[in-house]
Structure 1
């Protein structure tokens, strides 16, 4: 009995101990749960850092718009940075990027590519990312040096005139140019076209020739009507014209292809008395851009913008890149901040000094610096040329296109200019703001420009390292920072969203509106 009693006492003691432990655990559980919830909440409110995506191109073609490993952002801290981006300091909005559909380009696209390859190429160039997203184009009103023959849109026998423009026609454009532009519009209906004449019809000129000479004063009104008839005729073919310039390179008289001198006083008079008032009365607006020539003579557009009768009709200034400094754009902007700037022509080529290609020059001088100096859009010269830099009628014998189309096989090659433009056009969307970023060109050898897209608040930073050695650059935006080592002689586009939680929420709301589509599914 004693042994039985001792066993019963041991069982009772164990039972009491177990009950005590269970009671203690129950009493402690709320405190442990509170601590667990507090830890979870602390994890939830920790900042979610943006991730930086990187695309890289290098001279020599080893890397061409190649995606690189993502970069992690960290808290900014107090350490100095090379490039500070301030998205609250906004400058011009971006209209877009593109190239000229010259007669040569349209002929190659139409006659050296079959239907399937032609449509694939146009989707690549004008379609949304991962296409290049080109949304600007320049057209020539009549022939340029990159045409197969000389013509205007109102050619009549020598010695006759046609002030009523009864013989105006676009027959020369019906086979190749107009169908190709319409194909582009089918891919990108938002295409913005800037159109420029190389010469007035010969009967309007003192030379009675498309090459050289000037517009006769008695035909200034007829010339304005000629430009307006072009706008109306192209619209009838489904092609709207965003802007007109009065004359391509009006301070240069070429000797081997169409051209025409047109001084500032003449341009101002035509705009003030004829073209401006006539376009202003129209419901569908076509803008007027003055100059359409090099950076080297800002006094020319300043003279037109300083004319009180012409200036109200002028929307902006068109610039070319062949002489002078991009800072001319900034000078004109400071004097006339209400007028826009566009780069409407620039071409690279197989020049003797161009041993390393055009990637760095096009990215740094044309695009980065051009846009830091207030350009809203950049239009390269020929969209497409063949392996012989043509076809062309006089003029530039070594110019490059954005693409090269082999005149026999139709094989398409993408040039340095293609990739320089793509570093911008694929990422900087129409309507984006250029935003403030520290200029590091002089001290670091790293040119840069920054933008913020309005559709999703994403930030785009394009950098160009012109040095022959790698350079590490520190970048800060808001309360975050990162570092990136740019390879020698390279172009990089870096993108991130400063509010990744907001991006996730927008996507989640999008998914809520798409029943049956799980998160993570495109």
Structure 2
């Protein structure tokens, strides 16, 4: 009798990605099922899951953990299953709010400029970010890194300050040279950049940390005239992702992609989760189906809405909904923060990381987001394809995949209800049922080849008995 493997987490934290007894499958027959999986109906190929190695995260890993602690943690996070198997990462080009101080990679005294980028350097990254990323790459050489700037150097901006302002048009070419120099310098340290965005959250001007408004027209012009041509012939390729901001303004990336001269250089759209709905991803995907979709930032935090934990929200609203709306990868915000939600420079003072590192001992606490990501990253391997699975309307959400490596099927289900719910699942000629605990997340894994062999044997014996 074929069986389904099961891992379970509950919102009350009683169970945290705990393997349960296998579930026996049975012949599907004419019984109806809540979730019907069709592996022949395929959608996007998955790239992976991860979190941002912000300056704060890297600083904690390098300064608040000893070498043994750090090595063990990074293997747990980036090592192959049964480790977390994270394989995506976001880096900030210069400082973000989760840095110890504001900076860019070409800072010069006030009143001076550097259009030839003679003062470009990554000295600020040499103690923390670069060695940490290199250590991660030694564990998982197939890491996909997305890099995003929070601000151009102050001398390039209308505000003459890292906070606020816009990029001066006269420095658009120099800004692209700045970004390309970052790509080249990091590659020189053995760190390849998979994708680049022009500006983090270009529709928002923060007042306490580096940021910069960049309109859709400006982004389109920079990509068309400078960045696109500069990156077009480079190998290995660094992809350009448009937008890098919230779901509530899909018209912004749509307007950039509407120009074919710009669109030919853009590989996909990057989204954040803080406003709007992931259904915006599908709106843009339908108009531009050849462009990829990624979620590049989403943070949990100790705010009023998270008083009962964030396992259900992140699994249901970000991972399941985001992937059902075409996301090929999901990248959380800070990988690690300390017990004081930092260190940080301005910005969010209640944000959480995937993990918390105790700044006194280096001890690790795993937040709800850790387990939400793990329900996917440990089982949905790079190259897996999302396959059709019927949606339900009973507070039960799901998404299904088929791994390319061994053909195994992975189904993640969330029960958002306050009571136990029976969920039936059918795939091919088989089905199974499971009583989902209240407020829980389950990952089911089975191999249809084994199921098929069992079905063939059962049919043979049935025919023989007649």
TM-score normalised by structure 2 residue count: 0.96
Per the alignment, in what secondary structure is the counterpart of residue 376 of structure 1?
Answer: strand
Q: CA RMSD in A?
A: 1.0
Q: CA deviation at 1:50?
A: 2.6
Q: CA deviation at 1:308?
A: 1.7
Per the alignment, in what secondary structure is the counterpart of residue 140 of structure 1?
Answer: strand
Query: Counterpart in 1 of 2:372?
Result: 420
Q: Is 1:458 aligned to 2:411, yes or no? A: no
Query: Counterpart in 1 of 2:345?
Result: 393
Contact 1:50 1:499 in 2 (8 A): no
* Change over 3 Å in CA distance of 1:331–1:61 after alignment to 2: same
Q: More helix by proportion, 1 or 2?
A: 1
Q: CA deviation at 1:51?
A: 1.0
Q: 2:310 aligns with which of 358, 361, 379?
A: 358
Q: CA deviation at 1:353?
A: 2.1
Q: Is 1:480 aligned to 2:430, yes or no? A: yes
Query: Counterpart in 2 of 1:61?
Result: 13
* Mapped partners of 1:139, 1:266: distance in 2: 23
Figure out how many residues of one structure are paired with residues of the other and give that number. 454
Instruction: Indicate the structure whose relative CO is greater, using CA pairs within 8 Å and at least 6 residues apart.
Output: 2
Q: CA deviation at 1:502?
A: 8.5
* Mapped partners of 2:452, 2:41: distance in 1: 21
> Counterparts in 2 of 1:23-422, with a 5 A limit?
49-422=1-374
Per the alignment, in what secondary structure is the counterpart of residue 57 of structure 1?
Answer: strand
Task: String of CA shifts for 1:289-338, please: whole Å, max 9, x gaps.
Answer: 00000000000000110012110000000000000010000000000000
Contact 2:355 2:370 in 1 (8 A): yes
* Mapped partners of 1:333, 1:227: distance in 2: 27
Task: String of CA shifts for 1:320-369, please: whole Å, max 9, x gaps.
Answer: 00000100000000000000000000000010121111100000000000
* Change over 3 Å in CA distance of 1:478–1:117 after alignment to 2: same
* Mapped partners of 1:165, 1:65: distance in 2: 49
* Mapped partners of 1:419, 1:327: distance in 2: 24
* Mapped partners of 2:435, 2:321: distance in 1: 21
TM-score normalised by structure 1 residue count: 0.86
Query: Counterpart in 2 of 1:8?
Result: none
Per the alignment, in what secondary structure is the counterpart of residue 130 of structure 1?
Answer: coil
Per the alignment, in what secondary structure is the counterpart of residue 422 of structure 2?
Answer: strand
Q: Structure 1 stretches (4+) deviating beyond 4 angstroms? A: 501-504
Per the alignment, in what secondary structure is the counterpart of residue 68 of structure 1?
Answer: strand
* Mapped partners of 1:70, 1:208: distance in 2: 62
Contact 1:126 1:187 in 2 (8 A): yes
Query: Counterpart in 2 of 1:491?
Result: 441
Per the alignment, in what secondary structure is the counterpart of residue 193 of structure 1?
Answer: strand
Unpaired segments ≥5 residues, structure 1: 1-48, 505-522
Contact 2:69 2:362 in 1 (8 A): no
Contact 1:50 1:498 in 2 (8 A): no
* Mapped partners of 1:178, 1:327: distance in 2: 36
